[in-house]
Amino acid sequence: MGWAYVLSKVLAGLLIKYYKVLQYGQSQYVLQFGMNVSNTLIDLEARIMKVPTLKYNPASKQPNVVCSADQH
């Protein structure tokens, strides 16, 4: 199992826990707008997108910058 899978399961557990604590299904604000908040989660396909290239003025010191996920 990868870290992303484990993290998604931890986050899913927290979402379900706080759904119950905050009682979203019974919120007057939610009901007032005719919305319904389900307490079940869905699985969906996702992908990691390519990091964009930042383009600055051509006269700048560094006109194109490609960021990476590990830059801080």
**pLDDT one-digit tens code per residue, 20-67:** 777 766 778 878 888 887 778 888 888 888 888 888 888 888 888 887
Residue 12 in this model has a pLDDT that exceeds 80: yes
pLDDT at 72: 47
pLDDT at 1: 64
pTM check: above 0.85: no
Instruction: Give the domain ranges of the chain.
Output: 3-66
Show the DSSP H helices in the chain as ranges: 3-22, 28-32
Contact predicate 64/56, CB 8 Å: yes
